[in-house]
Structure formats: structure tokens, C-alpha cells
Structure 1
């Protein structure tokens, strides 16, 4: 939402940058509200560039860029995975203790950057809707991609804040006074956008680069949404669709290859090229990889949860040890500071999650042997003995616990999975009360940023803040 009087200005400048002709737009006195709808969508090339601008912004945005105010960082702190190295950290201390002030700057940055992405997708959708110059097949594809990004962004807003405003157009005067919508209504829009995206998209990646949204990207997120909504049948069907695409996706045996650019485990990634300068490492690599100045570490006790032979312990967890610092850190990304040499993309969706989605859906339905088979696909690739059903009696609850443990170890430091898993399965009080004495049940949602509530009197606050 940002400062509403500046939204059109920001979008115009962003689009001018994408098209490389800002001076021309300044000289031609086109009204602000017509630049997106007419000028940017005057042909296929400019429409493609507008959508590419959204992808670039996803890499740079606070909520999605893997940097210090991202979902990955903040949700990792809120769960039991990350903690600040400096226990007196004002930036991260509140979040790790689950005592977030409505004025916390990182919380505001996450919220406002997410709504800026939503504004950009709404602008593209409006422009495509009235354009007569973009070819039909391309228009459908770009609509599908924009709808996916909007659904993706709302998915995270829902799971971080609960009820939030549902904004589907660019009328900033109206939007500046919106109220919050219910979670069911928000999820209905997410499902609508994803289902429409699945109708519009094909299976290709542009130039074989896994940074654009295709039908499988949309199906992967739709499978996750089905899991969160406890639609076990649909979650199993959709995750199976991805898993069966063996020509496109596979579980890689070498863990050091998983987070490389365009790895075959990747369903969707974000490229550092979106940063627009010579620095080509990911935000996650810059924040997580241990140095003398690192702000974060893996939480106390997390490393001890791994079996000694687990390759994730050996390949995805680093250890920094100097005369005055000794800590473990997420080491899924190996590049912290490359220049003009992209080797890694920021991972957003990957195949391992789909196996875990299907395992949980099958377990919830009572198909325990099939659930175990999916879990074993994850366990065997990291060097852990597969579960042998014939050797032990395993009930539904034990399988569920195994799946949650595998999700914790497999998806740690990726997009808030652990935090969201604890919330959707109702285990926050059980797990997080042990982490901090400050825990209260109302801490499952972040506060609505006070900066937004000061601008919009119709935004009420979450309980407990």
C-alpha cells in the first residue's frame, strides 16, 4: 500500500526503467493514469517487459527477496529455526521473542513491499484487459503469470497477518480506505487466481530459465493451498501431477546442486539479475553465510536434531568458528558476494516440497504405506535409512510426526515453512512456549503495521497488539 499519493509515481518510474525510455515519457505529457494502460501495452515487447519488471521487483522486494525483512528471515525467527547472534539485537530481538511492535520497521517493510507487488500485478492485469495491441496467446500467458504472482503474494499475507485488505485494482483513492477481508474470502481469491492461471499457462520456461511462471509453478502452489485448506484429495492429485513430470523435475542426489540456477529440482526461482547491478549472489546467501559480521544463526538445538549421517547436516549447515564467534548457519546457498557471475537463483518452489505435500495428504487420508514411500524419497537422498514398515507398527499420528520432522529439516530457512506448519497444525503453543517466555496464543499473527493504520482509519488491529 505504501504512501498512496506516491503509488502512481513509483509505478511510472519503475516502468520507465524497464523500457529504458524514461526521458521520452517525461517529455510527452501523457496523464499518469494512462501510462500503464496505453503506453506500456502498446506491443508485445513492452508488455513482456512490464511483467519482467514484476519478477525483478520480487527479487528486490523486502518480503520476497531473501534479505533482512523477508518472509524467510522474519518467519524463521518467529519459529524455532533462527535467532540473532547478538541477543540484544533491536532489529531481530522482538521477532525472535514473538513480541513484535506494530511499529517494527521490518514488519512494515514486509507488508508495504508485498502490497507494492500486488499493485504492480493489478496494473498489468488492467493494462492487458484493455490492450488491443498485445497478441492473444501472449496476453493469456502474461495474465496467467500476473494472476499467479498476486495469488502468491496474498498467500503469504494471509499466513502472516490473517485478515488483510483484498485489493484487486489500482484505484488508490478507494484503496486507501479499505477494510480487512476475512481469511475465507482471501483464500477464495487466491484459489480463483491460481485456477485461472492454470487455465492460461503452458508448460514451458522462457529460454529454459526457471524464473518465469508456467503451469507447473501454478499447480505447485495450488497443491500447497489445498494442503493448507485440508483438501487432502486435491493436494494429493496436484502434487502428483508435478512429481510425475519426470522429464522436467527430479530429486537431486547431490545436495550442493539443488539451489543452483535452473536446477532440475527447481520449480520456480528468482534471479539475481533482477537486482540490476554487478552483485550476483542471492539475498539468502548474503544474509545467511557465516562471517564475522553475520546477524543470524541457526537456533540452539536445531543442529542436534539431525542424525550424524544426514547429508543435510553436512551440506546445508555451515559452521563459523573464530576467536570470538562460534555458530551454525544455513548453508544451502554457497555464494555470498559474487560479481557478474550468477551461479545460484533464489529458490521459491521445489520438488521436495511436493513429495512432502503428497506424503501428508496421503497420511491424513490413512494411506500410510504410500505416505511412507514419499517420505523415503526424501530420506534416502540424504543418506538416512528408509522407514521399513514391516519392521515396526506405525500409526497415523507417528507418520504425521515424521512428516513434520522431515519438513522441518528439509525446508528450513526457506520461505517460512516451519512457522506456517506450526500454525496450520495448531502446534504453536506447544512448541514456541518452550522457545520464549513471552509467547502468547495471539502471537500467531503479526501486527498490522501502525504506519498503515495511521493512514487508513478503517484498518483494525490483530488481537493482542
Structure 2
């Protein structure tokens, strides 16, 4: 496995987190920063954590670019069509990923890079007496939140993965895969710690550092995925009830702005470290005459928009009229490119309030609370300007209700963090994938292959079935 040999005392050098994806061959810096220096003051310790957030914007799995969860898992599902001939990307669209696929390797390695940095920070703050108790609590809560977040995607893309909780390079290099149940247990432990440690407010005023409700929101998603409907509903209800912090914004163009009131957690383009101020999602998805954008919305996805009055169609989907072909593209982010060095207007959205209504709706539906599920779905539909289910379909069967929910999730969350791919697997619905024109679908394709390069280095890593 490709683990970074970065010792805790190096973390101070990552405060700006240069956008280097391969950290394997890290040379010792000429200007060594000891752990005592990094964790000697509250200010430098906070900067070390900010470096991890900057790295989330730069590392493959979280950055919203062409090797991210958002892109690769989105392409694996049925919302997108590719406009590129790059084979390693096309393998994701064809659901026929090879074990030596370089994008798959970057996805895996990027998540473990972040986890290693988090473990390094946790060890650093544990071993210093110099930090104030409040800062220590906040940093531990934030770090454990980020670790839980990273493992959530690893286990949902690769199923069984090595559970690495420390920085011992020799142990990490030969770590075997752990059962998915064990990974989920650690995610829950980390999130409960984060809920206990983090404050209710956003300490800097920026929604880029998670608060207690961000941890609760992510816990609601985790409980949904493991089938604990009661806890999923309870966690999402606590987040939804925080009207002083969150609301479903009526103007869909405002959702993805920096620190929007619908945002629960965002990642800032500050991680560019230069004059760029746009998100990678905006740069990736927006079609124009000068950029070679590798993806557009699929014909199948365009056909699901039966109601032309749906505000999401009018605000989040745009048409590019090219030579010989018209392409629809995701237009949630409005800024494709900005090198002005001015104010950052959009942040990458990781979690937002609408998902919490959808989580609670599904949890209620699976517990037999049809009225409650419809009430939550209608919050989303009302904002979108579509007919309310309470009026047009107030008594759906349990299967009809789940299908309605899956369709609503598809429309609301497209182009965000691979929700559609993970939802199809959760609902055990492979039909859309079997019907993709370019796909070679097999039941084993629900899980990505463990990168062959990692297995070459670590003989303890087994491979997923079908690869």
C-alpha cells in the first residue's frame, strides 16, 4: 500500500499543502520543523489542521476533479456520459475498471494520504502539553471527523480496506484489509467523538471546518447506510432543527456559494494556494467552446425531467450548443475558471441540508412512516416548484415510495460526491447500469478493484472478486 512516510514533525510543512498527489517519495525538508514547533502554540496547531483541509481540496478523492469521488463514481453511474477517449476514465464509464487503472490508484492513495496526515496530527496533539484544552478538543474532533469521512468513501468504494489508525510506517506497509463492519465501527466511534468534542458553532465563521452538527449530519448518513433507520432519523432531525444555522435556500443559485446557509460542510478553493478562486467541480462540469470538458449529462438523465417547471432543471442544468452536437451539463457551480486572485465566491459542497431531509425521508419510509417520509420529500419538491406528493400521490405503496425517493435523490444530488452510484448499490438496483449503452455490467462491479500497485507492495492486500 502507498503510505506516506511523513513523520508528525513534518506536518507543519504542509500548512499550505502543495497540490502534489504522489507523496510516496517525500524528501526530508531542508528547513525541518519539529513536532514541538508545530504543536507549541494554538495558532500553529490550527494551521496544521488547516493544511489538512487544504489537502482535501488538492488530493484526488476529495477535490472534485477528474480523479475524485464526485467524477469517477458519477461516471460509474448513469447520470453522465463521457466526452473523452482517455481509456482509464472510460473504464469507469464502462464499469470495467482494471486493477492497474491509474485514476483508481489516485482515488485510493489520495484518501489514505489524508488519513495518514490526520493520524499524524492526532499523535502530535496527544503528545504535547502546550495546547489549550479548547483547541485540543476542537482539533481532535475535526481530525476524527475527517478520518471518518475518508474511511466512509474508502469502504463504500472498495468494501474491505485496511484500517490504519497510527503512523507506524512498517506496520502500515503490511496491513491487511479489515472487514467492512470493523471499518464502520471505527467510523461511528470517530464521529461520536467528534460530536462530543466539536462546538455547535462554526468557530471561524467559515463552514469549511466542521461543527457538531456536521458530525451529526454525517452520522445520519452512516446510520442510513448500515440500516439503523431510527438513529438515522434521529440524527438528521437534530440537524434539521437547527434553524438558526441551516435552511433550504429558496434561490437555487445561492446554494453553492461560500458559506451558504444550506451548507453543512464545504471545502474551500483556498487550497489552490495561488490566484485561482474557482472550484474544480465548476471547472470540470461547465461546457464551453474553449475547454475540453470530459463529461456531459447523459441522455437517460435528461429524460427523467418530466416537469419543465422544476426549478432544478432551470437553474442546475445548462445547454452547450456545439458544432454538430448539443450537450447538457451540470451547472450547480457557476464559475468555471477564475485566476483573478479576488474573493472566492463558491466553495465545493460536501454536505448540505437537503440531503438531511432525504435521509430522514428514507429512514421514515423504511420504518413504515409514509406520511412522515412524504412530508420530508415535499420539502425538497416544494423548493423545486414541483407538485407535492401529499397532493398527487399521498398513498404510495412501500416500493413506490422508495422508488419516488430514489428518483428525488437523483435529481437533487446529481454531480455531488457519487451519491447516485452509492444509492443504486444501496437499493440493489443494477437495472440502470445494465441498460447503459457503453457498459459491460457484472454484479462484481459494485466494488472498485484494489489497485494492483498497492498489492505489489503489500502482499497482505487481497483483491475484490471479479478482478
Structure 1 residues 242 and 323: alpha-carbon distance in aligned structure 2, compared to 1, 3 A threshold: same
The 5 Å alignment of 1:15-164 reads 15-18=12-15, 26=30, 35-36=34-35, 38-86=36-84, 88-164=85-161
| Alignment check: 8 A CA contact 1:107 1:449 kept | yes
The reply on whether 1:175 has 2:176 as its aligned counterpart is no
Give a deviation string over 1:264-297, Cα, whole Å, max 9, x none: 0000000111110100000100100002311111
Query: Does the alignment pair 1:409 with 2:411?
Result: yes
SS in 2 for 1:414: coil
Superposition map of 1:448-459 within 5 A? 448-459=450-461
Distance 1:27 1:464 in 2: 47
Cα shift at 1:460: 0.8
Once the two structures are TM-superposed, the CA of residue 51 in structure 1 deviates from its matched residue by 0.5
What root-mean-square deviation, in Å, do the aligned CA atoms of Structure 1 and Structure 2 show? 1.8
Give the secondary structure class of the aligned counterpart of 1:302: helix
Match of 2:247 among 244, 247, 250: 250
Task: Give the C-alpha shift of residue 393 in structure 1.
Answer: 3.3
Partner in structure 1 of residue 345 of structure 2: 343
**TM-score under structure 2 length normalisation:** 0.93
Superposition pairs of residues 180-329 of structure 1, within 5 angstroms: 180-292=177-289, 293-306=292-305, 307-329=307-329
Asked if 1 retains the 8 angstrom alpha-carbon contact of 2:38 and 2:48, the reply is yes
Rounded to whole Å, the distance in 2 between the matches of 1:349 and 1:397 is 27
SS in 1 for 2:6: helix
Shift of 1:421: 0.6
SS at match of 1:329: strand
In 2, distance between residues paired with 1:40 and 1:406? 46
Shift of 1:27: 5.3
Q: Which residues of 2 match residues 423-434 of structure 1 at below 5 A?
A: 423-428=425-430, 430-434=431-435
* SS state at 1:206 partner: coil
2:162 — aligned with what?
165
Give the corresponding residue for 2:463.
Answer: 461
Return the offset for 1:137.
Answer: 1.3
What per-residue deviation string (whole Å, max 9, x for no partner) do you get for residues 139-189 of structure 1?
011000000000000000000000010000000111101100000000000
Q: 1:443 corresponds to which residue? A: 445
1:70-109 per-residue CA deviation (whole Å, 9 max, x = no partner) reads 00000001111112114x4313211101000111111001
Contact 1:333 1:344 in 2 (8 A): yes
- Looking at structure 2, the residues matched to 358 and 254 of structure 1 have their Cα atoms a distance apart, in angstroms, of 23
Shift of 1:378: 0.3
Does the 8 Å contact 2:246/2:353 carry over to 1? Answer: yes
Q: CA deviation at 1:425?
A: 1.5
Distance 1:409 1:308 in 2: 13
Conserved in 2, the CA contact under 8 Å of 1:194 and 1:222?
yes
Deviation at 1:389, TM superposition (A): 5.3
Distance 1:373 1:392, change over 3 A: closer
Q: Is the deviation greater in 75-84 or in 292-301?
A: 292-301
Tell me, in whole angstroms, the C-alpha distance in 1 between the residues paired with 2:122 and 2:402: 40
1:19/1:369 Cα in 2 relative to 1: closer, same or farther (>3 Å)? closer
Contact 1:303/1:313, CA 8 A, preserved across alignment: no
Q: What residue is the counterpart of 2:21 in the other structure?
A: none
Consecutive unaligned residues in structure 2, runs of 5 or more: 18-27
How far, CA to CA, are the matches of 1:51 and 1:390 in structure 2?
A: 49
Contact 1:144 1:200 in 2 (8 A): yes
CA contact (8 A) 2:14 2:48 kept: no
TM value normalised by structure 1: 0.94
Cα deviation 1:188-222 (Å, max 9, x = unaligned):
00000001110111111133111001101100000
Q: Count matched residues.
A: 451
Would the alpha carbon gap of residues 147 and 233 (structure 1) be closer, same or farther in structure 2, given more than 3 Å must change? same
Quote the offset at 1:426 in angstroms: 1.1
C-alpha displacement at 1:17, in angstroms?
Answer: 4.8
Q: Secondary structure at the match of 1:249?
A: coil
Tell me, in whole angstroms, the C-alpha distance in 1 between the residues paired with 2:128 and 2:387: 57
Shift in CA distance, 458/281, structure 1 to aligned 2, threshold 3 Å? same
What SS does structure 2 have at the residue aligned with 1:349? strand
**Secondary structure of 2:87's aligned partner:** coil
| 1:377-436 deviation per Cα after TM superposition (whole angstroms, max 9, x unaligned) | 0001111011135865322211111111000000001001010011112112x2211114
Q: Give, in angstroms, the shift of residue 13 of structure 1.
A: 5.8
Q: Aligned match of 1:363 in 353, 362, 365?
A: 365
Question: What does residue 355 of structure 2 align with?
Answer: 353
